[in-house]
């Protein structure tokens, strides 16, 4: 199966998106299609043996819309916001004087004799025609799109606008002809200003809507702007400045203070600190030296460095982030299905209601002008636009806000499902803990002081690649202890190491090694008894046959993990720790984190099975992990969250990726999910409420009880305002604190 994203032009309401989905979905070989009104994009999955992009383009075209696959063509297209700005300005130039003439007359003001309807009614009508015609021409896309979709049997919002304004304009044109023929009393039955004002107000609404949608997608624009245009590389021993896009893998790249790293890589020369805040949300610069990884688009704070490019082009971290965010913003949340179902039948129903209202009022009153006003008002006020924008704009803003904070949400489904979570399952190693063993205690059991003991232990471990050996070496470095290179070294897999240093025979390893080499551990056991229940790894140090000390090593809890776990519980979630470690180690870490429920000694398959067991008990499970062994559990959970220090496999299996290795970002993710879904529900409520209230009013419900009749211009303003208000409400998510 191939997945493809296309841009669709001509969509202006939810029913448009539904029609495009249906048209594309009928193509043989299509397995999935999703259209996002807010982004104007369609995502399709298809079997290339049965379907092609050309087939999809044809199907969309037959439905009355245009799908674009050519990236160059899409870039060359005039930005939507500029198009609506130009149309709005042209419309205002003619609509404002038209309104001044007609509204001042209606308000009782005396017009100059040459354009007075009493003195020169034909001149009055022709002047309105002359001012209205340019507005009609400027808004011709409403008529082209509306007519096309109507003829295809898929009427949308443009159809309603086109029918309402065309009816007003054509009727007024008919009246003007009648006036020219001598029926001058019809001068009071002109609707030119309604047609022009409705088109102008709807264009204003579309302009504000497109501008707001542009702000909703600002996260992507911000990410795209981070990549520098140029890069300095060393080729053939010389420095060359080239476009950043031309950097290739293994190029040596020079970055000076204040410049951005053009691609991902590993530092080979120099030291600096990198500001990665725009990628990770972390405000504190990260120190970089030989062997450190640097991320493209982060800022080199001080000191020139040379680094080897490891990921370039579409492989860089930034490019992957942009792809994830774009995919998420183009996806649909399940809550959108309700709006889609309603929008699919909404426009035909509105057209029917408009005709019924016109007929009923005309039969009961015999007043054509009154009935005609009702017809136009019903056609104009109906607004599936607000319904269509309610969900996708909120998803756009929510996923964009997450990306700015280092939270990459892959889909609208993940965003929505997260807020329903009841149980949070946390992997221990690398998630709650740092995933790196560190020395937690050094105990002397003989005549050597702690400094001497650490120096000799470091000498013995200096050539070992075991994680425990690296922990000892790191501790020695922190304590300022210098390790003497061993004269002889032997690794003892599963036991430890053996070495000769400065004439001393050293053994560093497990209790089993000491037992096999007949080393007495009586004193060591007494001094380490308190560590037995804390799940630590003990490295015994034997010097010339005597146990002279013990080094305790453990995987320590991450800073902030306890606070994050406490807040998850305060939010009403059950928290479970899951691990492959022994129960003693698991219980010790769980106690530090404040977790009561622990599942230990589990294989990767067992973790996934435990997730399914919790789901069978009715729990909605969010799984947080970082390793390859967490991938099955991440995939099995309702929502899988991978933290940034994890493996590529874990991140691929997860629904959400946290760039930083911080459990507090899990809390932020759940808060963001709750805020976004709350916003979507608000949008849907007001969109439904608006239509339930607006359509009956437009049909004359208030007039039945002595109230006013809705003016078509007021209906147009209300319709535009409803769409803009939905977008503006979604934009509030950008300012929320998470």
Helix (H, G, I), strand (E, B) or coil at 44: strand
Answer for the pair 210, 81: CB distance below 8 angstroms, yes or no: yes
Q: Is the dihedral of CA 279, 264, 666, 394 positive or negative?
A: positive
Half-sphere exposure in the Cβ direction for 153 (13 Å, CA): 3
**Pairing verdict, β 537-543 and 504-509:** antiparallel
Distances (CA, A) of 409 to 6, 376, 605, 635: 21, 43, 25, 15
Length of the chain: 738
**Of 296, 293, 303, the residue nearest 256 (C-alpha):** 303
Nearest to 9 by CA among 87, 90, 91, 79: 79
Q: Which tokens sit at 355?
A: 């005709």
The Cα–Cα gap between 697 and 691 comes to 10
Q: Is the dihedral of CA 659, 663, 664, 670 positive or negative?
A: positive
Task: Compute the distance between CA of residue 723 and CA of residue 561 in angstroms, rounded to an integer.
Answer: 42
Q: Torsions phi, psi of 297, nearest 5?
A: 85, -10
Taking alpha carbons only, the member of 637, 616, 609 closest to residue 625 is: 637
| Cα 730 → chain centroid | 13
710 DSSP assignment:
P
DSSP 290: T
- The string of DSSP codes covering 107-119 is TTPPPPGGG-TTT
Would you tell me how many other CB atoms lie within 10 Å of the CB of residue 174? 12
Q: Is 517 helix (H, G, I), strand (E, B) or coil?
A: coil
Say whether 69 is catalytic: no
- Distance between CA atoms of 14 and 544, rounded to whole angstroms? 81
Q: Please identify which of the residues 427, 555, 581, 655 carries the catalytic annotation.
A: 427
Instruction: Please choose, from the candidates 399, 429, 437, the residue with its C-alpha nearest in 3D space to the C-alpha of residue 416.
Output: 399
Instruction: Report, as residue numbers or ranges, the catalytic residues.
Output: 427
């Amino acid at each position: 199966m191939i997945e493809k994203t296309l841009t669709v032009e001509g969509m202006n309401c939810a029913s448009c998106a539904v029609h495009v989905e249906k048209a594309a979905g009928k193509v043989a070989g299509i397995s999935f299609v999703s259209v996002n009104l807010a982004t104007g994009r369609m995502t399709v999955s298809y079997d290339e043996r049965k379907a092609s992009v050309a087939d999809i383009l044809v199907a969309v075209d037959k439905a009355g819309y245009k799908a674009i696959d050519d990236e160059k063509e899409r870039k060359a297209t005039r930005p939507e916001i500029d198009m609506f700005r130009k149309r709005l300005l042209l419309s205002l130039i003619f609509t404002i004087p038209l309104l001044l003439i007609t509204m001042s007359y209606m308000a009782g003001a005396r017009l100059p004799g040459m354009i007075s309807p009493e003195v020169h009614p034909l001149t009055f009508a022709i002047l309105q025609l002359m001012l209205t015609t340019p507005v009609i021409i400027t808004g011709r896309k409403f008529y082209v799109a509306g007519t096309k979709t109507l003829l295809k049997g898929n009427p949308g919002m443009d159809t309603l606008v086109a029918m309402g304004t065309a009816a007003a304009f054509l009727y007024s044109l008919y009246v003007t002809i009648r006036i020219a023929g001598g029926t001058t009393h019809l001068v009071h039955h002109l609707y030119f200003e309604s047609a022009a004002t409705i088109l102008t107000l709807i264009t204003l609404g579309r302009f504000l809507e497109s501008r707001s949608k542009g702000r909703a997608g600002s996260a992507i624009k911000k990410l795209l702007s981070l990549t520098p245009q140029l890069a300095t590389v060393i080729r053939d021993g010389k420095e060359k400045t080239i476009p950043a896009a031309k950097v290739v893998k293994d190029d040596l790249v020079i970055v000076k203070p204040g410049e951005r790293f053009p691609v991902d890589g590993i530092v080979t020369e120099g030291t600096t600190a990198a500001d990665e805040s725009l990628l990770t949300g972390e405000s504190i610069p990260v120190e970089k030296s030989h062997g450190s990884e640097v991320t493209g688009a982060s800022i080199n704070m001080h000191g020139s460095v040379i680094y080897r490019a490891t990921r370039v082009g579409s492989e860089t971290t930034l490019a992957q982030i942009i792809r994830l965010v774009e995919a998420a913003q183009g996806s649909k949340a399940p809550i959108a299905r309700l709006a889609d179902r309603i929008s699919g039948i909404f426009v035909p129903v509105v057209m029917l209601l408009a005709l019924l209202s016109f007929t009923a009022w005309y039969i009961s009153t015999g007043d054509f002008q009154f009935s005609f006003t009702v017809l136009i008002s019903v056609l104009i006020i109906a607004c599936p636009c607000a319904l269509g924008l309610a969900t996708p704009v909120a998803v756009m803003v929510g996923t964009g806000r997450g990306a700015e904070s280092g939270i990459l949400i892959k889909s609208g489904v993940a965003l929505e499902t997260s807020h329903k979570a009841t149980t949070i399952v946390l992997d221990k190693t690398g998630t709650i803990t740092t995933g790196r063993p560190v020395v937690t205690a050094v105990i002397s059991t003989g005549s050597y002081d702690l400094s001497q003991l650490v120096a000799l232990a470091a000498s013995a471990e200096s050539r070992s690649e075991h994680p425990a050996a690296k922990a000892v070496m790191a501790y020695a470095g922190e304590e300022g202890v210098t390790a003497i290179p061993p004269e002889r070294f032997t690794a003892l897999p599963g036991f430890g190491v053996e070495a000769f240093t400065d004439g001393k025979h050293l053994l560093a390893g497990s209790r089993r090694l000491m037992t096999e080499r007949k080393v007495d551990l009586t004193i060591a056991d007494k001094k380490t008894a308190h560590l037995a229940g804390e799940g630590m790894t003990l490295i015994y140090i034997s010097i010339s046959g005597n146990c002279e000390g013990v080094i305790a090593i453990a995987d320590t809890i991450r800073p902030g993990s306890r606070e994050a776990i406490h807040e998850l519980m305060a939010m009403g979630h059950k928290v479970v720790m899951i691990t492959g470690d022994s129960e003693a180690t698991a219980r010790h870490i769980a106690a530090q984190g404040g977790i009561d429920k622990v599942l230990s000694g589990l294989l990767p398959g067992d973790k996934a099975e435990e997730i399914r067991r919790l789901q069978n008990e009715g729990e909605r499970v969010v799984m947080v992990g970082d390793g390859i062994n967490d991938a099955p559990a991440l995939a099995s959970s309702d929502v899988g969250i991978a933290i940034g220090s994890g493996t590529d496999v874990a991140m691929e299996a997860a629904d959400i990726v946290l760039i930083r290795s911080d459990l507090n970002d899990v809390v932020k993710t759940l808060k963001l999910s709750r805020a976004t879904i709350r916003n979507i529900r608000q949008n849907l409520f007001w969109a439904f409420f608006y239509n339930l209230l607006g359509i009956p009013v437009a049909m004359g419900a208030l007039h039945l009880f002595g109230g006013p009749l809705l003016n078509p211009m007021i209906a147009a303003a209300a319709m535009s305002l409803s769409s803009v208000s939905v977008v503006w409400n979604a934009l509030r998510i950008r300012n929320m604190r998470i």
